[in-house]
Protein backbone atom coordinates (compact mmCIF):
# COMPACT_ATOMS: atom_id res chain seq x y z
CA UNK A 1 0.00 0.00 0.00
CA UNK A 2 1.10 3.55 -0.68
CA UNK A 3 0.85 6.47 1.73
CA UNK A 4 0.39 10.02 0.37
CA UNK A 5 -0.28 13.30 2.08
CA UNK A 6 -3.85 14.51 1.78
CA UNK A 7 -4.10 17.50 -0.53
CA UNK A 8 -6.98 19.97 -0.41
CA UNK A 9 -7.92 21.58 -3.72
CA UNK A 10 -9.81 24.84 -4.12
CA UNK A 11 -11.88 25.81 -7.16
CA UNK A 12 -9.68 26.74 -10.09
CA UNK A 13 -8.86 30.47 -10.26
CA UNK A 14 -9.95 30.92 -13.84
CA UNK A 15 -13.54 30.15 -12.82
CA UNK A 16 -13.73 33.26 -10.67
CA UNK A 17 -13.74 35.54 -13.68
CA UNK A 18 -16.73 33.87 -15.33
CA UNK A 19 -18.77 32.40 -12.46
CA UNK A 20 -20.59 33.91 -9.53
CA UNK A 21 -19.72 32.77 -6.05
CA UNK A 22 -22.70 30.42 -6.12
CA UNK A 23 -21.65 29.09 -9.51
CA UNK A 24 -18.15 28.39 -8.29
CA UNK A 25 -19.49 26.56 -5.25
CA UNK A 26 -21.79 24.45 -7.42
CA UNK A 27 -18.97 23.61 -9.84
CA UNK A 28 -16.73 22.61 -6.95
CA UNK A 29 -19.49 20.47 -5.45
CA UNK A 30 -20.09 18.73 -8.77
CA UNK A 31 -16.41 17.94 -9.11
CA UNK A 32 -16.31 16.61 -5.58
CA UNK A 33 -19.35 14.41 -6.19
CA UNK A 34 -17.72 13.06 -9.36
CA UNK A 35 -14.57 12.29 -7.38
CA UNK A 36 -16.57 10.50 -4.70
CA UNK A 37 -18.39 8.50 -7.38
CA UNK A 38 -15.02 7.58 -8.86
CA UNK A 39 -13.92 6.33 -5.45
CA UNK A 40 -17.16 4.38 -5.00
CA UNK A 41 -16.72 2.67 -8.37
CA UNK A 42 -13.23 1.70 -7.28
CA UNK A 43 -14.57 0.05 -4.11
CA UNK A 44 -17.02 -2.01 -6.18
CA UNK A 45 -14.18 -3.32 -8.32
CA UNK A 46 -12.16 -4.14 -5.21
CA UNK A 47 -15.18 -5.94 -3.72
CA UNK A 48 -15.32 -8.07 -6.86
CA UNK A 49 -11.59 -8.83 -6.77
CA UNK A 50 -11.66 -10.08 -3.19
CA UNK A 51 -15.03 -11.86 -3.12
CA UNK A 52 -16.22 -13.02 -6.56
CA UNK A 53 -16.60 -16.71 -7.32
CA UNK A 54 -16.33 -16.10 -11.06
CA UNK A 55 -12.93 -16.28 -12.76
CA UNK A 56 -14.29 -14.11 -15.57
CA UNK A 57 -15.30 -11.36 -13.14
CA UNK A 58 -11.98 -11.77 -11.35
CA UNK A 59 -9.92 -11.05 -14.47
CA UNK A 60 -12.15 -8.15 -15.53
CA UNK A 61 -11.84 -6.57 -12.07
CA UNK A 62 -8.05 -6.81 -11.84
CA UNK A 63 -7.60 -5.53 -15.39
CA UNK A 64 -9.61 -2.42 -14.52
CA UNK A 65 -8.00 -1.93 -11.09
CA UNK A 66 -4.45 -2.05 -12.44
CA UNK A 67 -5.34 0.79 -14.82
CA UNK A 68 -7.58 2.73 -12.42
CA UNK A 69 -6.87 6.36 -11.49
CA UNK A 70 -8.32 6.67 -8.00
CA UNK A 71 -7.09 10.16 -7.12
CA UNK A 72 -8.56 13.22 -8.82
CA UNK A 73 -7.73 16.92 -8.71
CA UNK A 74 -10.43 17.36 -6.07
CA UNK A 75 -9.89 14.26 -3.94
CA UNK A 76 -6.70 12.39 -3.00
CA UNK A 77 -6.77 9.19 -0.96
CA UNK A 78 -3.87 9.12 1.51
CA UNK A 79 -3.72 5.31 1.70
CA UNK A 80 -4.31 2.97 -1.21
CA UNK A 81 -3.16 -0.28 -2.70
CA UNK A 82 -0.65 -0.26 -5.54
CA UNK A 83 -0.89 -1.91 -8.94
CA UNK A 84 1.54 -4.55 -7.69
CA UNK A 85 -0.84 -5.34 -4.82
CA UNK A 86 -3.75 -5.93 -7.21
CA UNK A 87 -1.70 -8.43 -9.24
CA UNK A 88 -0.84 -10.30 -6.03
CA UNK A 89 -4.45 -10.38 -4.87
CA UNK A 90 -5.53 -11.64 -8.29
CA UNK A 91 -3.12 -14.59 -8.29
CA UNK A 92 -4.02 -15.47 -4.72
CA UNK A 93 -7.74 -15.47 -5.59
CA UNK A 94 -7.17 -17.39 -8.84
CA UNK A 95 -5.52 -20.28 -7.00
CA UNK A 96 -8.13 -20.05 -4.27
CA UNK A 97 -10.97 -20.42 -6.80
CA UNK A 98 -9.28 -23.60 -8.03
CA UNK A 99 -9.00 -24.93 -4.46
CA UNK A 100 -5.25 -24.49 -4.40
CA UNK A 101 -3.66 -23.07 -1.26
CA UNK A 102 0.10 -23.02 -1.84
CA UNK A 103 0.37 -19.24 -1.86
CA UNK A 104 -0.06 -16.98 1.19
CA UNK A 105 -0.85 -13.27 0.86
CA UNK A 106 0.83 -11.16 3.53
CA UNK A 107 1.15 -7.45 4.34
CA UNK A 108 4.37 -5.61 5.16
CA UNK A 109 4.01 -2.72 7.60
CA UNK A 110 7.63 -1.75 6.98
CA UNK A 111 7.32 -1.35 3.20
CA UNK A 112 3.58 -0.66 3.06
CA UNK A 113 3.02 -3.38 0.47
CA UNK A 114 1.48 -6.79 0.03
CA UNK A 115 3.65 -9.79 -0.79
CA UNK A 116 3.49 -13.54 -1.36
CA UNK A 117 5.19 -16.15 0.72
CA UNK A 118 5.17 -19.91 0.27
CA UNK A 119 5.25 -22.62 2.96
CA UNK A 120 8.73 -23.95 3.57
CA UNK A 121 10.61 -21.22 1.71
CA UNK A 122 9.31 -18.14 3.50
CA UNK A 123 12.49 -17.85 5.58
CA UNK A 124 14.58 -17.36 2.43
CA UNK A 125 12.57 -14.99 0.33
CA UNK A 126 9.24 -13.45 -0.57
CA UNK A 127 7.62 -12.35 -3.79
CA UNK A 128 6.11 -9.19 -5.22
CA UNK A 129 5.32 -7.71 -8.61
CA UNK A 130 7.72 -5.17 -10.04
CA UNK A 131 6.45 -2.70 -12.62
CA UNK A 132 8.88 -1.17 -15.06
CA UNK A 133 8.49 1.92 -17.22
CA UNK A 134 9.23 0.08 -20.45
CA UNK A 135 6.51 -2.49 -19.68
CA UNK A 136 3.55 -0.19 -19.06
CA UNK A 137 0.91 -2.86 -19.55
CA UNK A 138 2.73 -5.71 -17.84
CA UNK A 139 4.69 -6.61 -14.74
CA UNK A 140 7.38 -8.97 -13.46
CA UNK A 141 6.93 -11.40 -10.57
CA UNK A 142 10.18 -11.24 -8.61
CA UNK A 143 11.86 -12.79 -5.61
CA UNK A 144 12.52 -9.54 -3.79
CA UNK A 145 15.71 -10.39 -1.91
CA UNK A 146 17.56 -11.47 -5.07
CA UNK A 147 15.63 -9.33 -7.60
CA UNK A 148 15.14 -12.37 -9.83
CA UNK A 149 12.33 -12.05 -12.38
CA UNK A 150 10.50 -15.38 -12.38
CA UNK A 151 7.80 -14.52 -14.88
CA UNK A 152 6.24 -11.69 -16.87
CA UNK A 153 2.46 -11.15 -16.84
CA UNK A 154 0.44 -8.91 -19.15
CA UNK A 155 -3.35 -8.75 -18.81
CA UNK A 156 -4.02 -6.61 -21.88
CA UNK A 157 -2.08 -8.97 -24.14
CA UNK A 158 -3.22 -12.16 -22.33
CA UNK A 159 0.38 -13.26 -22.05
CA UNK A 160 2.56 -15.07 -19.49
CA UNK A 161 6.26 -15.82 -19.91
CA UNK A 162 8.38 -17.80 -17.44
CA UNK A 163 12.08 -17.05 -17.08
CA UNK A 164 13.98 -20.34 -17.08
CA UNK A 165 17.25 -18.62 -16.16
CA UNK A 166 15.83 -17.07 -12.97
CA UNK A 167 14.00 -20.29 -12.02
CA UNK A 168 17.21 -22.27 -12.42
CA UNK A 169 19.23 -19.81 -10.35
CA UNK A 170 16.68 -19.52 -7.57
CA UNK A 171 15.47 -23.10 -7.23
CA UNK A 172 18.36 -25.25 -8.41
CA UNK A 173 21.21 -23.10 -7.08
CA UNK A 174 20.22 -20.62 -4.36
CA UNK A 175 17.53 -22.71 -2.64
CA UNK A 176 18.76 -26.19 -3.52
CA UNK A 177 21.07 -26.87 -0.57
CA UNK A 178 19.06 -24.96 2.03
CA UNK A 179 15.41 -25.88 1.47
CA UNK A 180 13.68 -29.24 1.51
CA UNK A 181 13.32 -30.36 -2.08
CA UNK A 182 9.65 -31.22 -1.70
CA UNK A 183 9.03 -27.59 -0.70
CA UNK A 184 10.90 -26.39 -3.77
CA UNK A 185 8.82 -28.74 -5.91
CA UNK A 186 5.58 -27.47 -4.33
CA UNK A 187 6.60 -23.88 -5.05
CA UNK A 188 7.38 -24.71 -8.68
CA UNK A 189 4.03 -26.49 -8.93
CA UNK A 190 2.22 -23.35 -7.75
CA UNK A 191 3.97 -21.32 -10.44
CA UNK A 192 3.05 -23.88 -13.09
CA UNK A 193 -0.56 -23.87 -11.90
CA UNK A 194 -0.73 -20.10 -12.34
CA UNK A 195 0.16 -20.59 -15.99
CA UNK A 196 -2.19 -23.56 -16.35
CA UNK A 197 -5.21 -21.68 -14.97
CA UNK A 198 -4.47 -18.52 -16.97
CA UNK A 199 -4.28 -20.64 -20.12
CA UNK A 200 -7.36 -22.77 -19.43
CA UNK A 201 -9.61 -20.09 -17.91
CA UNK A 202 -8.74 -17.11 -20.09
CA UNK A 203 -6.83 -18.41 -23.11
CA UNK A 204 -3.53 -16.78 -22.16
CA UNK A 205 -0.51 -17.41 -24.36
CA UNK A 206 1.84 -19.13 -21.88
CA UNK A 207 5.49 -20.11 -22.24
CA UNK A 208 6.20 -22.40 -19.28
CA UNK A 209 9.92 -22.74 -19.97
CA UNK A 210 11.53 -25.62 -18.11
CA UNK A 211 8.33 -26.07 -16.02
CA UNK A 212 6.37 -27.47 -18.99
CA UNK A 213 5.43 -31.15 -18.41
CA UNK A 214 3.83 -31.80 -21.82
CA UNK A 215 5.36 -34.73 -23.71
CA UNK A 216 5.36 -32.74 -26.94
CA UNK A 217 7.34 -29.91 -25.36
CA UNK A 218 10.77 -29.32 -26.87
CA UNK A 219 13.01 -27.33 -24.54
CA UNK A 220 15.01 -25.02 -26.76
CA UNK A 221 18.61 -24.78 -25.55
CA UNK A 222 20.94 -21.79 -25.87
CA UNK A 223 23.40 -23.44 -28.24
CA UNK A 224 21.55 -24.75 -31.33
CA UNK A 225 24.38 -27.13 -32.24
CA UNK A 226 25.05 -29.26 -29.17
CA UNK A 227 28.80 -30.03 -28.92
CA UNK A 228 29.58 -33.75 -28.80
CA UNK A 229 31.72 -33.31 -25.70
CA UNK A 230 28.67 -32.16 -23.74
CA UNK A 231 26.90 -35.43 -24.55
CA UNK A 232 30.10 -37.32 -23.65
CA UNK A 233 29.97 -35.69 -20.21
CA UNK A 234 26.36 -36.82 -19.82
CA UNK A 235 27.34 -40.37 -20.75
CA UNK A 236 30.01 -40.40 -18.04
CA UNK A 237 27.77 -38.74 -15.42
CA UNK A 238 24.94 -41.18 -16.14
CA UNK A 239 27.27 -44.19 -15.88
CA UNK A 240 28.44 -43.01 -12.45
CA UNK A 241 24.75 -42.90 -11.42
CA UNK A 242 24.16 -46.43 -12.79
CA UNK A 243 22.23 -45.12 -15.78
CA UNK A 244 22.93 -45.84 -19.43
CA UNK A 245 22.82 -43.16 -22.10
CA UNK A 246 21.54 -44.87 -25.23
CA UNK A 247 21.92 -43.89 -28.87
CA UNK A 248 18.59 -43.62 -30.64
CA UNK A 249 17.61 -42.96 -34.22
CA UNK A 250 18.48 -39.67 -35.89
CA UNK A 251 21.26 -38.75 -33.44
CA UNK A 252 18.95 -38.95 -30.40
CA UNK A 253 20.53 -39.52 -26.97
CA UNK A 254 18.13 -41.36 -24.67
CA UNK A 255 18.36 -41.61 -20.89
CA UNK A 256 15.80 -43.82 -19.14
CA UNK A 257 15.52 -42.34 -15.67
CA UNK A 258 12.86 -44.81 -14.49
CA UNK A 259 10.43 -47.32 -15.95
CA UNK A 260 8.24 -44.45 -17.11
CA UNK A 261 10.35 -41.27 -17.33
CA UNK A 262 12.65 -40.73 -20.31
CA UNK A 263 15.02 -37.83 -20.91
CA UNK A 264 16.17 -37.08 -24.47
CA UNK A 265 18.61 -34.80 -26.27
CA UNK A 266 17.92 -34.73 -29.99
CA UNK A 267 18.16 -32.79 -33.22
CA UNK A 268 14.85 -31.49 -34.43
CA UNK A 269 13.83 -32.24 -38.00
CA UNK A 270 12.34 -29.90 -40.53
CA UNK A 271 9.13 -31.63 -41.71
CA UNK A 272 9.28 -29.90 -45.09
CA UNK A 273 12.86 -30.74 -45.97
CA UNK A 274 13.40 -33.77 -43.68
CA UNK A 275 16.72 -32.23 -42.63
CA UNK A 276 18.13 -31.93 -39.14
CA UNK A 277 18.01 -28.58 -37.40
CA UNK A 278 18.66 -27.30 -33.89
CA UNK A 279 19.15 -29.45 -30.82
CA UNK A 280 16.59 -29.59 -28.04
CA UNK A 281 15.80 -31.47 -24.85
CA UNK A 282 12.65 -33.40 -23.97
CA UNK A 283 11.16 -35.27 -21.01
CA UNK A 284 8.43 -37.83 -21.51
CA UNK A 285 6.21 -39.74 -19.10
CA UNK A 286 2.82 -41.40 -19.67
CA UNK A 287 0.93 -39.00 -17.39
CA UNK A 288 2.59 -35.83 -18.74
CA UNK A 289 3.27 -34.56 -15.23
CA UNK A 290 7.06 -34.55 -15.22
CA UNK A 291 8.92 -31.49 -16.51
CA UNK A 292 12.59 -30.86 -17.13
CA UNK A 293 12.66 -28.95 -13.85
CA UNK A 294 11.31 -32.02 -12.04
CA UNK A 295 14.05 -34.33 -13.31
CA UNK A 296 16.78 -31.76 -12.62
CA UNK A 297 15.50 -31.40 -9.06
CA UNK A 298 15.32 -35.17 -8.51
CA UNK A 299 18.49 -36.43 -10.20
CA UNK A 300 21.65 -34.76 -8.92
CA UNK A 301 23.88 -36.07 -11.71
CA UNK A 302 21.56 -34.59 -14.33
CA UNK A 303 21.30 -31.27 -12.49
CA UNK A 304 25.08 -31.04 -12.15
CA UNK A 305 25.54 -31.80 -15.86
CA UNK A 306 22.98 -29.14 -16.76
CA UNK A 307 24.50 -26.47 -14.50
CA UNK A 308 28.09 -27.30 -15.46
CA UNK A 309 27.18 -26.82 -19.13
CA UNK A 310 24.70 -23.99 -18.68
CA UNK A 311 26.22 -21.78 -21.38
CA UNK A 312 25.20 -24.47 -23.87
CA UNK A 313 22.17 -26.13 -22.27
CA UNK A 314 20.25 -23.29 -20.62
CA UNK A 315 16.62 -23.27 -21.75
CA UNK A 316 15.77 -20.19 -23.76
CA UNK A 317 13.36 -17.59 -22.39
CA UNK A 318 11.49 -14.98 -24.39
CA UNK A 319 14.08 -12.32 -25.20
CA UNK A 320 11.42 -9.64 -25.51
CA UNK A 321 11.07 -9.70 -21.73
CA UNK A 322 14.21 -11.37 -20.36
CA UNK A 323 17.56 -10.25 -21.71
201-233 pLDDT tens trace: 999 999 999 999 999 999 999 998 899 999 999
Give the separation between CA 275 and CA 217, rounded to whole angstroms: 20
**What would the DSSP string read from start to end of 256-293?**
E-SSS-EEEEEEEEETTTTEEEEEEEEEE-TTS---HH
pLDDT in tens, 2-53: 544 444 444 444 444 566 888 888 888 888 898 899 899 999 999 999 999 9
The tens digit of pLDDT for each residue in 248-290 reads: 887 899 999 999 999 999 998 765 555 568 899 999 999 999 9
Say whether pLDDT at 200 is over 90: yes
Mean pLDDT of 91-102: 93
pTM tops 0.85: yes
Tell me the pLDDT tens digit for each residue of 112-161. Answer: 889 999 999 988 989 999 987 766 678 999 999 999 999 999 999 999 99
Residue predicted with more confidence, 236 or 101: 236
Task: Judge whether residue 111 has pLDDT over 50.
Answer: yes
Q: How confident is the model at residue 110 (pLDDT cuts 50, 70, 90)?
A: confident
Angle at 281 between CA 280 and CA 283, to 5 degrees: 150
User: Residue 222 and residue 158: Cα distance in Å, rounded?
Assistant: 26
Give the residue from 281, 307, 295 showing the smallest Cα distance to 173: 307
The confidence score (pLDDT) of residue 9 equals: 44
Task: Note whether 105 and 127 are within 8 A (CB).
Answer: no
Q: What is the pLDDT of residue 58?
A: 97
Instruction: Give 169-189 as a DSSP string.
Output: IIIIIITTTTS-HHHHHHHHH
State the DSSP H helix or E strand holding residue 304, giving kind and residue range, or none if neither. Answer: helix 300-308
Q: How far apart are CA 225 and CA 267, in angstroms?
A: 8
Coil/strand/helix, residue 44: helix
Long-range contacts of 134-139 (CB under 8 A, 24+ apart): 135/321, 138/321, 139/83, 139/84, 139/87
Q: Look at residue 127 and give its three-state secondary structure.
A: strand
Q: What is the pLDDT of residue 157?
A: 93
Question: Is the CB of residue 160 less than 8 Å from the CB of residue 322?
Answer: no
Amino acid sequence: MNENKTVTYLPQKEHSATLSTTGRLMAYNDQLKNSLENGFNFTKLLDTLISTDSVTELLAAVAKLTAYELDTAFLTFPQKYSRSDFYLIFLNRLLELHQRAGMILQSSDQYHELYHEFPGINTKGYFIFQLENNQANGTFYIEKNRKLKLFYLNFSRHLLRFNSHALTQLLLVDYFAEIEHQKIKSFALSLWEIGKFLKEDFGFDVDFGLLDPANNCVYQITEPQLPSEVLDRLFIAAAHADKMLEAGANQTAILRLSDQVVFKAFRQTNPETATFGEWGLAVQDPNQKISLFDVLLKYDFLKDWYLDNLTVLEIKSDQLYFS
